[in-house]
Amino acid sequence: ARLLHGSIFAKVIEGLRELVNEATWECSGNGITLQAMDSSHVALVSLVMRSEGFESYRCDRNMSLGISLVSMSKVLKTMGKDDSLTIRVNDDSDSIIIAMESQNQDKFADYELRLMDLDSEHLGIPDTDYSCAIKMPSSEFSRICRDMSIMGDSVLICTTKEGVKFSAKGDLGQGSIRLVQTTNIEKEEEAVIIEMKEAVALTFAVRYLSMFCKAAPLSPQVGLSLSEDTPLMCEFKIAEMGHVRFYLAPKIED
Amino acid sequence: KRHQNQLRLYYSSD
């Protein structure tokens, strides 16, 4: 699998590696997918990178590759900003080859990472018709998670027709941030758009939402999909290629 | 007290 802009792949890994330290990559002719849960099984990430999004892509037989995302992140940090990236696994090999090329083809770096044997549980996530679908700038969402974490461990997300409200409370007191739906969309990337069938009010652990925001550099916009008594879906699109979707179980009153 | 659910309550294993 070859990417002209290897930085896309580095951003994907950076977006996942805090939530899941290691994961099984499923490779087929259609592309690369991954599904993994965090160690407490409260959050899940689902990654899709379609073959047509790569500069070139070939997969002669389906493979499951157990990879340490922490190690891969370290290797990818050695990559130059404009480097291209090729990922290769040879038949019957116990390692993955990560090759980087500088833009003017004067530097070539190769790394081999040992593959791991991982037990992975795969959950079936049905297509869900969510009550609310919110789109907002991903930088804004990151900022809100950071700001709400000052006040508490949990953030309550409430939607109305007018907008969406995030609030948190704790020992210090409480705080809230309300975003109003953008009425005059000039730049789509900066818009806050709320599609609502029913109002929702759901509480989530802000620590996990903050981890999801590590994937924010992938996309200028984030999508949040919510329904009562259903895990939140937080989506960052990978341009022309696929997406990273995070799922998080809501907090409930005991 | 707030309790965090596991995803298995919502989604089943494939």
For residue A185, what pLDDT is reported? 86
Sequence-ordered list of residues with C-beta below 8 angstroms from that of A251, at least 6 positions apart, any chain:
A154, A203, A204, A205, B2, B3, B4, B5
pLDDT at A147 over 80: yes
Give the pLDDT band of residue A92 (cuts 50, 70, 90): confident
pLDDT at A254 over 90: no
Report how far apart the first and last C-alpha atoms of chain B are (Å, whole number).
32
* Rounded Cα distance, A152 and A209, in Å: 13
Distance from CA of A193 to the nearest CA of B (A): 27
Which segments of chain A does DSSP mark as H helices, in order? Answer: 7-16, 69-76, 138-151, 206-212
Task: Give the tens place of pLDDT for each residue, A206-226.
Answer: 999 999 999 999 999 999 999
Q: Do B14 and A249 touch (CB under 8 A)?
A: no
Q: Which residues of chain B are within 8 Å of residue A247 when distances are taken between CB atoms? A: 7, 11
Task: Give the tens place of pLDDT for each residue, A29-87.
Answer: 999 999 999 999 999 999 999 999 999 999 999 999 999 999 999 999 999 999 999 99
Using DSSP, state whether A118 is helix, strand or coil.
coil
Q: Which residues of chain A are within 8 Å of residue B2 when distances are taken between CB atoms? A: 154, 203, 251-254
Q: Are A229 and A250 in contact (CB under 8 A)?
A: yes
For residue B2, what pLDDT is reported? 63
Query: For residue A38, how far is the Cα from the chain centroid?
Result: 13
* Rounded Cα distance, B2 and B14, in Å: 29
- For B:1-14, CB contacts with A below 8 A are 1-14
User: For A36, which residue in chain B has the nearest alpha carbon?
Assistant: B7
Instruction: Please compute the mean of the pLDDT values over residues A164-192 and round it to a whole number.
Output: 94
For residue B1, what pLDDT is reported? 46
Of B5, B11, B12, which is closest to A252 when you measure between CB atoms?
Answer: B5
Give the pLDDT band of residue A119 (cuts 50, 70, 90): confident
Question: What is the pLDDT tens value at each position of chain B, 14 positions in all?
Answer: 467 788 999 999 87
Q: What are phi and psi of A141, to 5 degrees?
A: -65, -40
